Structure 1
Amino acid sequence: MYAIGLSLAGLKFGMLIGIVAGVCSFVPYLGPVVGIIGGLVSAIVSGGDIWINVALVITVFSIGQIIEGFYLTPKLVGESIGLHPVAVIFAVLAGGQLFGFFGVLLALPTAAVIVVVLRHTRERYLASEIYGAEAIPTPTAATEPTSVETPQDPPV
């Protein structure tokens, strides 16, 4: 995505910088940093209007981060752990707001655990007498099998 954007912006070595940034994106925060630094160096060295080139590099990476942060990551991560993309965004934002960097790291595992517990609790509730479903019968003396009486021989 970065490679295409930087190439369309007319940046020298845009394809190479974009590919390197994309590969480095597997490490959180490293890809955009490497890409922006490489893109800015290329924009300054390549000649032409420096400010337009710098603005194009910043625009490409800003749009890339918006697409990645608000669409790709929630969709891919949400599907893998069973969370809706909006829930992923909300969990990460809430975790970051409440607990900072460690909140961001622990937000998705915590949200996944909460979803599993809530699903289990809901299933138990729907199967309970409180909701109106029939309770699961428990064995009692009335339902246990009784011994069959055999007739006695008549007296002689």
Structure 2
Amino acid sequence: MQKSYSFSVRLAAWLLSAILIVYILYMLRETLVPLTFSVLFAVLLYPICAFLESWRVPRILAITIAQVLFFVALVGLIYLASVQVISFGEELPRLEKKANYWIDQGQDFLSDNFGMSRRKQLTEGRKYLTEALKNSASILTGAVATTTGTLASAALVPLFVFFFLLYRDFFRQFFYKVFDSRHKRRVDQAIKRIYAVVQGYLVGLVSVILIVGVLNSAGLLLLGVPHAIFFGFFASCLLLIPYIGLLIGSLLPALMALVALDSPMYSLGVLAVFGVIQVLEGNFITPYIVGSKVSVNPLASMIVLILGGQLWGLSGLILALPVTAIVKVIFDSIEPLKPFGYLLGEAEDSKPIKIKIPTLTEE
């Protein structure tokens, strides 16, 4: 009776703690999201800082150089993307003319096969467009507010990254004090594993984006889709949203193929190419490059992605897997939490447990 009561108390404490943590994560999302991104970026830039410091460069200067290099690389990527966007903008008049042609073809198809006159089509189109505009007003307002808050928070990320790198030894001493000096070696091992997991995930993710971008671009070039490289790498960058990012990225080049080329079969070809690449990415590329670094089983990955999206929106989808990988390392390092770390990890191959059910004669 005492054991049952103790378990009930522990279960209630776990549930209350989970509810409190989820509530805090949701209410403080505008602060916690940039902080979490800052931690990941700090881990990513740490090897550069450590290398510079090994050459007796002062820590503040090393951190500044690492951030400047990261900023220059980011600006270069933005410049390349802007060049492609400008080139794509020059095609808009031709695309508009082709889009009008397909709209006329669609109206003729509806008129010939379903007896829907053009006037009725226009009436129905205006009705749905009016409803869409009414519904989009609130969505646009919320998007503007969210974007403004996100940009304001993003401006603090470089500052957070700077201080995380500057005070990394201070934070290490803090963890020593929290977990007692007797567990100093275990704390060091956990920190090293967290560094390895996060760096492996980020480097692996960049590698996957480059590989998938090349495959996307090659497939679009074979189909003759205009601006194939831009669309290919744009879709691969959406891999930041696991499982569905590449499928979302296929819609724009499919629409481009439908408008710019002579047959709708090219649009279907684009969807087929991206579908094959999605299968390759999900079953071979990402598991081989990233999966060995982030040992979280697929079921747990899907659950945390759903929860992350509900808590923090798009940022939650991006941060769900690396944060879960960090949490798993922490669970594996603390004895009472090891069962939860086991639950998040990859399932081990084991023989099924045989349970013998007694028969009536045996009873």
State TM-score, norm by structure 2: 0.26
Q: Between the two proteins, what is the percent identity of the paired residues? A: 26
Hey, what does 2:292 align to over in structure 1?
Answer: 79
- Aligned pairs for 1:119-138 (under 5 A) are 119-122=332-335
- Structure number having the greater helix percentage: 2
Between the aligned partners of 2:232 and 2:280, the Cα distance in structure 1 is 13
Unaligned runs of 5+ in 1: 126-156
Relative to structure 1, the CA distance from residue 99 to residue 76 in structure 2 (aligned partners, 3 Å threshold; closer, same or farther) is same
Distance 1:93 1:110, change over 3 A: same
Q: Secondary structure at the match of 2:334?
A: helix
Partner of 1:28: 238
What are structure 2's unaligned runs of at least 5 residues? 1-214, 339-363
Cα offset for 1:39? Answer: 4.8
- The counterpart of 2:305, out of the listed 89, 92, 107, is 92
Paired residues of 2:296 and 2:325 also in contact (CA < 8 A):
no
1:74/1:89 contact within 8 Å kept: no
Q: CA deviation at 1:26?
A: 5.6
SS of alignment partner, residue 27 of structure 1: helix
Q: Tell me the equivalent position of 2:256.
A: 41
- Alignment root-mean-square deviation, CA: 3.9
TM-score under structure 1 length normalisation? 0.50
Question: What's the CA shift string for 1:45-95, capped at 9, x where partnerless?
Answer: 332xx2222211122223333443565345433334x32462544532442
Amino acid at match of 2:255: L
Asked if the contact 1:44–1:53 (Cα under 8 Å) also holds between the matched residues in 2, the reply is no
Q: Which residue of 2 aligns with 1:63?
A: 276
Contact 1:96 1:104 in 2 (8 A): yes
Q: Which residue of 1 aligns with 2:220?
A: 6
Structure 1's 21 and 73: CA in aligned 2 closer, same or farther, altered over 3 A?
Answer: farther
Deviation at 1:4, TM superposition (A): 3.8
Q: Distance in 2 between matches of 1:52 and 1:13?
A: 12
